[in-house]
Amino acid sequence: MLNTKIIGNRITEARKKINISQAQLAEQLFISSQAVGKWERGESMPDIITLNRLGEILGVDLNYFSAHPESTSSEPVKNSEASFDQGSAQTTETVQAGKTLKWDMSRGNWVDADFSGLKNLNEKFSSSNMLRCKFIGSDLSGLLLSGNNINGCDFSESDLNGSHIKGSHLQNDQFTDCSLGDTEFSGSHVLGCDFSGTDLTGVVFKSGGFEKNTLSNAVWNRSSFNSMYLADLVFEGNIENCSFENCAFKRVTFQNATLTNTFFKNKSLKQIKFIDCQADRLTYEFLKNGKADMSGIKLVML
């Protein structure tokens, strides 16, 4: 956890170790010396991007500023195994004296922060509120978000393969051109998000809601929806080896879609509209058994 008093003390210690004044540090950060003074007195704290830049100037990594019990030493941790750029954050676990030092930004409130290019996030943002934050072009594979509220954030062009998002609320977020291979959304509500051009191969949605999301040119292969509420959606393109099981549908449309080996197990599919669609024999029979309106579906041998 990050603590203003601890961060202030450590900025002071590291600054004095390299023998520069508050004014000289402020000049390198393009801020006022008064701002540095407030940090060192624990009255305020730098944002994450400025903290990264501070680490570069002072010769330490982000672990040095952490209030984690394993990293309370007053000695700076040399920035040999973690690299931080002013416009992005990249983190690794740093080993010192046989101990693994970690930073954790869970249970926080983050507004308008730019974490673009971040790596190795894993579970470090769980139980957090994030508003209008940027994670553009980040390596977020293996991400674990649990109990998060994520609103208006941009994950465009990021790698989220193998992630798990559970018990979270996502609204108006950008996932354009992302890779979400084998990611699992469980007990989560996804509303008004943009998945245009996103690879959703192997993604699992279960026990939650998926509403008013943009799905243009998304890749659907081995994707599954189980016990989901699906509303105001348009699926298009190739839908292959997918499944929709025990879902509730409201204003869901398949348009110009080719459905192959796709499983529908629902009491009624009457709330789904099919426009200019094609389906193989197996999928066609699943849809017919669910009393879907077959007028917009053409049976083809695929």
pLDDT (0 to 100) of residue 99 = 45
How far is Cα 146 from Cα 128, in angstroms, rounded to an integer? 8
Both 156 and 52 in a single domain? no
Rg (CA), the chain: 24
Q: Residue 14 corresponds to which tokens in the numbers above?
A: 């590291």
286, part of any domain: yes
Both 145 and 294 in a single domain? yes
Both 71 and 114 in a single domain? no
Both 135 and 58 in a single domain? no
Specify the pTM. Answer: 0.67
Average pLDDT over residues 187-203: 97
Both 184 and 130 in a single domain? yes
46, part of any domain: yes
Strand 248-260, strand 229-240: pairing: parallel
Question: Residue 87: helix, strand or coil by DSSP?
Answer: coil
95, part of any domain: no
CATH number at residue 41: 1.10.260.40
pLDDT at 172 over 90: yes
Both 137 and 64 in a single domain? no
Backbone angles phi, psi at 78, to 5 degrees: -65, 145
Q: How many CB atoms lie within 10 A of CB 92?
A: 12
Digit-coded pLDDT (tens) for 248-302: 999 999 999 999 999 999 878 989 999 999 999 999 999 999 899 999 999 998 6
What order do you get walking across the sheet with 184-186 strand by strand?
144-146, 164-166, 184-186, 204-206, 224-226, 243-245, 263-265
101, part of any domain: no
Q: 266 near 290, Cβ under 8 Å? A: yes
Comparing 69-78, 112-121, 166-175, the range with the smallest average pLDDT is: 69-78
**pLDDT confidence tier of residue 95, bands split at 50, 70 and 90:** very low
Both 58 and 133 in a single domain? no
Number of domains in the chain: 2
pLDDT top residue among 146 and 195 = 195
Q: Tell me the pLDDT of the chain averaged across its residues.
A: 84
Average pLDDT over residues 134-138: 93
189, part of any domain: yes
Q: Residue 201 corresponds to which tokens in the numbers above?
A: 């191969």
pLDDT at 198 over 60: yes
283, part of any domain: yes
Both 174 and 209 in a single domain? yes
pLDDT (0 to 100) of residue 63 = 74
pLDDT at 137 over 90: yes
pLDDT at 94 over 60: no
CATH number at residue 168: 2.160.20.80
How far is Cα 115 from Cα 236, in angstroms, rounded to an integer? 32
Digit-coded pLDDT (tens) for 11-29: 999 999 888 999 988 888 7
Q: 139 near 118, Cβ under 8 Å? A: yes
pLDDT (0 to 100) of residue 282 = 94
Residue 103: name the closest of 60, 166, 58, 159 by CA.
60
Both 138 and 285 in a single domain? yes
Average pLDDT over residues 96-113: 65
pLDDT (0 to 100) of residue 297 = 96
Both 55 and 131 in a single domain? no
171, part of any domain: yes
Residue span of the structural domain in which 280 resides: 109-299
> Using alpha carbons only, what angle is made at residue 272 by residues 185 and 295, rounded to the nearest 5 degrees?
145
**pLDDT confidence tier of residue 102, bands split at 50, 70 and 90:** low
Digit-coded pLDDT (tens) for 31-86: 888 989 999 998 888 876 677 778 878 888 777 876 543 433 334 433 333 333 33
Question: Which of 63, 82, 101 is the last residue before a domain boundary?
Answer: 82
Both 35 and 134 in a single domain? no
CA distances from 93 to 6, 117, 289 (A): 20, 17, 53
Both 172 and 227 in a single domain? yes
Average pLDDT over residues 208-230: 96
The DSSP call for residue 48 is H
Residue 217: name the closest of 193, 200, 192 by CA.
200
Write the CB contacts of 75 (distance below 8 Å, at least 6 apart in sequence).
none
pLDDT at 92 over 50: no
CA distances from 290 to 123, 227, 246 (A): 40, 16, 11
pLDDT at 90 over 80: no
